[in-house]
A and B are shown apart, each in its own frame.
Chain A
Amino acid sequence: MGLPCRYAAPVSDWAKVRLHVVSGKGGTGKSTVASALALALAGRGKNVLLCEVEGRQGIARMFDVDPLPYVERRLTTGLPDEDGGRGVVHALHIDAESALLEYLSMYYRLGRAGKALDRFGVIEFATTIAPGVRDVLLTGKVYEAVERNSRNKGAITYDHVVLDAPPTGRICQFLNVSNELAGLAKVGPIKAQSDTMMTLFRSPRTAVHLVTVLEEMPVQETIDGIAELRANRLPVGGVIVNLVRPQDLTADDLAAARTGGLDQAAIEKDLSAGGLAVTPTLVDDLVAEAADHAERRALEDSQRALVAQLDVPSYELPRIAGGIDIGGLYELAAHLRAQGMA
């Protein structure tokens, strides 16, 4: 599969979205898709921030840079437009402890009490143990990056923020911050702030995208995830189908491959014409591989049909046989842009 011939889609499906939350079942390639999406969104003159919150340093590994600090770092330039224009992608690794300290200094002049909080282990308590607080701190920083205000002087304003988020099973809990705090902080500024955050997360300026692969369990989890997001009134974005098998055979050929109906004599003739020394087993081997491939493609198609019924836009990314490197990320970004995701 080569690069799509056209880089820029006329209009993105998510033109109004500022915050792209990328979730999905573990192992489906969430971080890869989030990175590719950030590259795709960074067209001419656009500033994009790519955040991670799970402490894995997956972005740094993928882009082959040093581990990311709690500082917005320039990561790379985005995928070029048709006329060569490109924007900048920054990256940020959000950890709860730094987020809490930054929050306290930004909103409260606590003076001695601030130092005492640290000395008495409150910071550690709040970030590692206190349930829910951790998620609120992480999402709070994401909120701050989207809704930059005068409190954060000299900070970059971003056109888009892409969040490499926790997996589908945890995403509603993660974003539903006021709910997490509900039983714990019933009044006070934290409560008010978490309500403001919820307003952004529930608005059309946010989209929660789910990454899946065309297998039964991840697709089922995607279906369940969408229902859960809707039940929590969180905005469902697109479904990104990752790791799609190569599509080198036509539907007719696939059907023939499944039933053993491929024309072996013609294949043998072609192989010679292609310059290969046809060994006795070569044709049989290729036909057997085709049959196995066709079976897997049929299963993919049945899952694809389920994704199509979901009533949300879906996008497909190919499986890259050589694995994902930086070049591969741009290739995936081009696919996302060509399909209108960015």
Chain B
Amino acid sequence: MARSSTQRQTRVGPATPPARRAGALDVDALLDDPKTGIIVCCGSGGVGKTTTSAALALRAAERGRKVVVLTIDPARRLAQSMGIAELDNTPRPVSGVQGDGSLDAMMLDMKRTFDEVVIAQASPEKAKQILANPFYIALSSSFAGTQEYMAMEKLGQLHRDSREAGTYDLIVVDTPPSRSALDFLDAPERLSSFLDGKFVRLMMAPAKGPAKLMTAGFSLITNALTRILGAQFLKDLQTFVTALDTVFGGFRQRAQLTYSLLKADGTAFLVVAAPEPDALREAEYFVERLSEDGMPLAGLVINRASPEPAGALSADEAMTAAERLRQQDAGSLTAGLLRLHGDRVRMVQREGMLRDRFATAHPQVATVVVPALAGDVHDLDGLRTVGTLLSQG
């Protein structure tokens, strides 16, 4: 390493101040920036992604933007209060939004989105054949990854439509709680690797061209599969693969368009987490993966932070005093209060340490911490409160 006499560090080791950190995330600046066209909220399950997305969308709308929020699986009461309890895969205006902006909301219907793509891409006859195939039915309703893929498909559609008609200037997307963190980035790739796979190519043309050479091996396989799965299985699979291939060119092209849309400047990713080791580990994975793919990461939202204790009394002092009081009176109210205080201090210290470690490893990530609310959010007022907390950091 080159040494610079002017910038030589006088001290190394644990006492060295940490690298410069990005600090607090300015949520309002992000929402107000007309260049922000898409906000994608990602993170592991149970960290409040849906609520965060809805709160951001409402705040942006009430600050004058024309917003649509695409949610995946909102809590029933929240969905009802936003008027999207019915799945119809179309954005519906949310009533009760204040100010000049507007807010539409929709809940993703994965199967319907998939069906619509097939119908749009294939001839009516072909589409009918695909929609009735048992493999398609299973793929479109249960395949892990379909939901992610369809969320991205729907985002692409909304974006195209709003470009043409000028309906929205900001799209907020909630992502499915994927098992592997970035399934939604990989889904198009996985779908194409599936359709380009050797097996599938063989299924489509077992007796043509170069594949003919392999038919001996192939019949070995089909025999084995027939033994295990039954003959109908292979027949259905073959029909499915052949039919889907005709519409797949369109699929891949659209997937690539959506992918480049995500990478574009108008997009901002927000990673949502809770101050727990698992959630932060997932968040770390998201941050790394987004940077690797060159995706525009705007920052980290840490939800559900424990409320700060009041005053300067340390956990140890509180616990010692509580113990002393409890020896005199086992049911002492004051001892209970002190123990609660000690517990709260310890929780907050632990969360602070976890956040700090994250910040040390990823100093470039701007962060906002949102304290845990006492109750759940199920109306616009609740979302407004969350929005205010998000903007205050």
Residue positions of A touching B, CB distance < 8 A: 25-28, 54-56, 58, 108, 110, 112-114, 116-117, 119-122, 124-125, 128-129, 131-132, 134, 166-167, 169, 173, 180, 183-191, 215-218, 220, 246, 248-250, 253, 262-263, 266-267, 270-271, 273-276, 279, 281-282, 284-290, 292-293, 295-296, 299, 321-323
In the complex, the chain A residue whose C-beta lies closest to that of B354 is: A323
**Which one of B194, B233, B374 lies within 8 Å of A185 (CB-CB)?**
B233
| B341, A286: Cβ atoms closer than 8 Å | yes
| A290, B374: Cβ atoms closer than 8 Å | no
B128 in contact (CB, < 8 A): no
In the complex, the chain B residue whose C-beta lies closest to that of A267 is: B334
Which 10 A-B residue pairs are closest in the complex by CB-CB distance?
A27-B46, A26-B45, A270-B334, A188-B230, A274-B321, A285-B310, A183-B134, A26-B46, A131-B138, A248-B336
Q: Please indicate the chain B residues that have their CB under 8 angstroms from the CB of A188 in the complex.
A: 226-230, 233
B200 in contact (CB, < 8 A): yes
Q: Please indicate the chain A residues that have their CB under 8 angstroms from the CB of B337 in the complex.
A: 248-249, 267, 286-287, 289-290
| B321, A131: Cβ atoms closer than 8 Å | no
- Complex: A124 Cα to B200 Cα, angstroms: 11
B233 to chain A, nearest CB (A): 5
Q: Please indicate the chain A residues that have their CB under 8 angstroms from the CB of B221 in the complex.
A: 113, 116-117, 120, 122
Those of B323-364 within 8 Å (CB) of chain A: 324-325, 328, 331-341, 343-344, 346-347, 350
**Which one of A114, A185, A274 lies within 8 Å of B230 (CB-CB)?**
A185
| B143, A131: Cβ atoms closer than 8 Å | yes
Q: Please indicate the chain B residues that have their CB under 8 angstroms from the CB of A263 in the complex.
A: 333
A-B contact pairs, 14 of them (CB 8 A): A55-B180, A132-B142, A184-B229, A188-B230, A190-B230, A215-B376, A218-B46, A246-B343, A250-B333, A276-B313, A281-B311, A296-B374, A321-B343, A322-B350
B274 in contact (CB, < 8 A): yes
A301 to chain B, nearest CB (A): 13
B116 to chain A, nearest CB (A): 19
Those of B372-393 within 8 Å (CB) of chain A: 374-376, 378
Q: Please indicate the chain B residues that have their CB under 8 angstroms from the CB of A189 in the complex.
A: 227-228
Residue positions of B touching A, CB distance < 8 A: 44-47, 73, 75-76, 134-135, 137-139, 142-144, 177, 179-180, 190, 194, 197-200, 202, 214, 217-218, 220-221, 223-230, 232-233, 236, 274, 276-279, 307, 309-311, 313, 317, 320-322, 324-325, 328, 331-341, 343-344, 346-347, 350, 374-376, 378
- Complex: A270 Cα to B277 Cα, angstroms: 37
| B142, A321: Cβ atoms closer than 8 Å | no
**Which one of A116, A129, A166, A249 lies within 8 Å of B217 (CB-CB)?**
A116
**Which one of B76, B218, B224, B229 lies within 8 Å of A190 (CB-CB)?**
B229
| B179, A55: Cβ atoms closer than 8 Å | yes
**Which one of A125, A167, A248, A271 lies within 8 Å of B194 (CB-CB)?**
A125
A235 to chain B, nearest CB (A): 23
| B197, A125: Cβ atoms closer than 8 Å | yes
| B232, A186: Cβ atoms closer than 8 Å | yes
In the complex, the chain A residue whose C-beta lies closest to that of B144 is: A134
Q: Please indicate the chain B residues that have their CB under 8 angstroms from the CB of A129 in the complex.
A: 143, 190, 194, 197
| A248, B339: Cβ atoms closer than 8 Å | yes
Provided the pairs A26-B46, A134-B144, A299-B374 are in contact, do residues A183 and B340 lie with their beta carbons within 8 angstroms? Answer: no
In the complex, the chain B residue whose C-beta lies closest to that of A112 is: B220
| A184, B134: Cβ atoms closer than 8 Å | yes
Q: Please indicate the chain A residues that have their CB under 8 angstroms from the CB of B320 in the complex.
A: 275
A182 to chain B, nearest CB (A): 9
**Which one of A26, A166, A169, A275 lies within 8 Å of B44 (CB-CB)?**
A26
A135 to chain B, nearest CB (A): 9
Given contacts A131-B135, A281-B310, A323-B350, 13 further A-B contacts (CB under 8 A): A26-B44, A116-B221, A117-B221, A188-B229, A220-B75, A248-B336, A262-B333, A267-B334, A267-B337, A276-B321, A281-B311, A293-B340, A321-B350
Q: Please indicate the chain B residues that have their CB under 8 angstroms from the CB of A270 in the complex.
A: 325, 332-335
- Complex: A290 Cα to B232 Cα, angstroms: 66
| B309, A289: Cβ atoms closer than 8 Å | yes
B325 to chain A, nearest CB (A): 5
- Complex: A274 Cα to B328 Cα, angstroms: 10
| B199, A121: Cβ atoms closer than 8 Å | yes
- Complex: A108 Cα to B214 Cα, angstroms: 23
A331 to chain B, nearest CB (A): 15
Q: Please indicate the chain B residues that have their CB under 8 angstroms from the CB of A58 in the complex.
A: 278
B385 to chain A, nearest CB (A): 15
Provided the pairs A113-B224, A116-B220 are in contact, do residues A250 and B331 lie with their beta carbons within 8 angstroms? Answer: yes
- Complex: A273 Cα to B320 Cα, angstroms: 12
In the complex, the chain A residue whose C-beta lies closest to that of B198 is: A121
A326 to chain B, nearest CB (A): 14
- Complex: A216 Cα to B382 Cα, angstroms: 14
B348 to chain A, nearest CB (A): 9
In the complex, the chain B residue whose C-beta lies closest to that of A189 is: B228
Provided the pairs A131-B138, A131-B139 are in contact, do residues A27 and B180 lie with their beta carbons within 8 angstroms? Answer: no
| A292, B307: Cβ atoms closer than 8 Å | yes
- Complex: A249 Cα to B343 Cα, angstroms: 13
Q: Please indicate the chain B residues that have their CB under 8 angstroms from the CB of A220 in the complex.
A: 75-76
- Complex: A112 Cα to B324 Cα, angstroms: 76
| A27, B274: Cβ atoms closer than 8 Å | yes
| A190, B324: Cβ atoms closer than 8 Å | no
Provided the pairs A121-B197, A187-B232 are in contact, do residues A292 and B338 lie with their beta carbons within 8 angstroms? Answer: no
| B278, A25: Cβ atoms closer than 8 Å | no
| B198, A249: Cβ atoms closer than 8 Å | no
Residue with the greatest number of chain B CB neighbours at <10 A, chosen from A110, A113, A262, A279: A113
**Which one of A113, A187, A274, A296 lies within 8 Å of B220 (CB-CB)?**
A113
- Complex: A279 Cα to B310 Cα, angstroms: 12
In the complex, the chain B residue whose C-beta lies closest to that of A271 is: B334
Q: Please indicate the chain B residues that have their CB under 8 angstroms from the CB of A271 in the complex.
A: 321, 334, 338
| B374, A108: Cβ atoms closer than 8 Å | no
| B340, A288: Cβ atoms closer than 8 Å | no
| A128, B224: Cβ atoms closer than 8 Å | no
- Complex: A290 Cα to B341 Cα, angstroms: 8
| A185, B344: Cβ atoms closer than 8 Å | no
In the complex, the chain B residue whose C-beta lies closest to that of A257 is: B337
- Complex: A121 Cα to B217 Cα, angstroms: 12
Q: Please indicate the chain A residues that have their CB under 8 angstroms from the CB of B202 in the complex.
A: 120
Provided the pairs A273-B328, A275-B324, A282-B311 are in contact, do residues A267 and B333 lie with their beta carbons within 8 angstroms? Answer: yes
Provided the pairs A131-B139, A274-B321 are in contact, do residues A113 and B197 lie with their beta carbons within 8 angstroms? Answer: no
In the complex, the chain A residue whose C-beta lies closest to that of B318 is: A276
